[in-house]
Amino acid sequence: MVGRLTATFAGLVAVAVMGFGVADLRGEGEGDSRTVDVVVEAEMWQFTPKVIRAKVGDRVRLEMRTKDMPHGFELRSHDVSVLALPGRAAHAEFVVDRAGGFEFYCTFDCGRPHGLMTGMLVVDER
């Protein structure tokens, strides 16, 4: 009985964790183009969400916020680079023009594990 409860609990935790940290972009527009809004929260050594999902042709309006210290957001593949300050959000807008996985990362050295502060834009075909 205990083994079965432990397995069930572990399964529920796995489902919860898998869904955590992924931005489900839903936006305005229909057909081949839509505008989607995503808010990224940055804090020491992590972005939330860590994964942003979009579809080819989407126009993404990004708002990046931070509470603890300055943090940068660079998505080199789409020529996006912004710097957010505590209490002052940074904004960018771009069109995702190709499918694939594209890494974003912090450009402001925020301490020793700074290199771990990364995320992924995942773009699917329509």
pLDDT digits (tens, 9 = 90+) for 82-120: 999 999 999 999 999 999 999 999 999 878 888 889 999
Q: Is residue 9 part of a domain?
A: no
Q: Is residue 2 part of a domain?
A: no
Q: Is residue 10 part of a domain?
A: no
Q: Is residue 16 part of a domain?
A: no
Q: How many domains does the chain have?
A: 1
Higher-pLDDT residue of 32 and 27 is: 32
**Full domain range(s) for residue 38:** 23-124
pTM for the predicted model, two decimal places: 0.74
Confidence class of residue 32 from pLDDT cuts 50, 70 and 90?
low
Q: Which residues pair with 96 in a beta bridge?
A: none
Strands in 1-126 per DSSP E: 22-24, 27-28, 35-43, 46-48, 51-55, 59-66, 71-75, 80-84, 90-95, 100-105, 118-124
Strands 100-105 and 22-24: unpaired
pLDDT exceeds cutoff 90 at 53: yes
| Gap between the Cα atoms of 71 and 43, Å rounded | 7
Q: Is residue 15 part of a domain?
A: no
Q: What is the pLDDT of residue 110?
A: 78
Q: Is residue 14 part of a domain?
A: no
Q: Which CATH number goes with the domain that contains 61?
A: 2.60.40.420
Q: Is residue 47 part of a domain?
A: yes
